[in-house]
Amino acid sequence: MAPVAADSVLSTTDRRLVAALQWDGRITAERAAKVLDLSPATVRRRLHALTADGTVRVVISPVARPRDGGSAGALFLRIRVLRGKLDTIVAALAAREDIPFIDVTTTGDEIFAVARTEPGSRDPLVFRQLPSTQAVTSLESATILHVFRLTSE
């Protein structure tokens, strides 16, 4: 897998549209068009293209209400994998409902992901499934204390 610069993956228009979606996942094409100074048809066309090939996935993430009354938890994961196994691990993570974010480094052997967890639990993904996968060479996790909405462009 050849390294690809992040700037070359999405056009400026597409990055601006993704930033608008990060700000408001339910933004209408008309509102996005007005904010981004584009036509609604362009917004609809680009959004369809981005979602059709899986580049962008818009999901509704329910507000988690853990049984103990505490707040929902999340972990930041840094996963190193064997060369040639990256696509397999990324696809498996992307299929999970508890993984809202995945990013692949340009080196082709490292994945950054966010996993939603129950506070105080020994998450099966982190403590059993990923460590027992032979394609995973190392795994680091850190608790996310607070999520800030951040967009660019």
For residue 132, is it within any domain?
yes
* 78 lies in the same domain as 30: no
- Supply the CATH number for residue 91's domain: 3.30.70.920
Tell me whether residue 34 is in a domain: yes
Q: Do both 127 and 89 map to the same domain? A: yes
Question: Do residues 81 and 128 both lie within one domain?
Answer: yes
- Same domain for 77 and 139? yes
- Assigned domain for 14 exists: yes
Range of the domain at 125: 73-143
- When divided into structural domains, the chain yields a total of 2
In a domain, 97, yes or no: yes
97: left (phi over 0), alpha (psi -120 to 50) or beta: alpha
Indicate if 85 and 35 belong to the same structural domain: no
Q: Is residue 65 part of a domain?
A: no
pTM to 2 decimal places:
0.55
Q: Per-residue confidence at 32, pLDDT binned at 50, 70, 90?
A: very high
* Domain CATH number, residue 46: 1.10.10.10
User: Across residues 99-108, what is the average pLDDT?
Assistant: 86
Match 């509102």 to its residue by tokens: 31
Q: Where are the beta strands (DSSP E) in the chain?
A: 73-81, 101-104, 110-117, 136-143
pLDDT in tens, 114-131: 888 876 667 778 777 887
Compute the average pLDDT of residues 27-37.
92
Number of other residues whose CB lies within 10 A of the CB of residue 36: 18
Report d(CA 44, CA 42) in Å as an integer.
Answer: 5
Which one is predicted more confidently, 94 or 54?
Answer: 94
Are 88 and 33 members of one domain?
Answer: no
| Whether residue 149 has pLDDT greater than 70 | no
Domain annotation covers residue 23: yes
Is residue 43 pLDDT above 70, yes or no?
Answer: yes
Give me the mean pLDDT over the 46-50 stretch.
Answer: 92
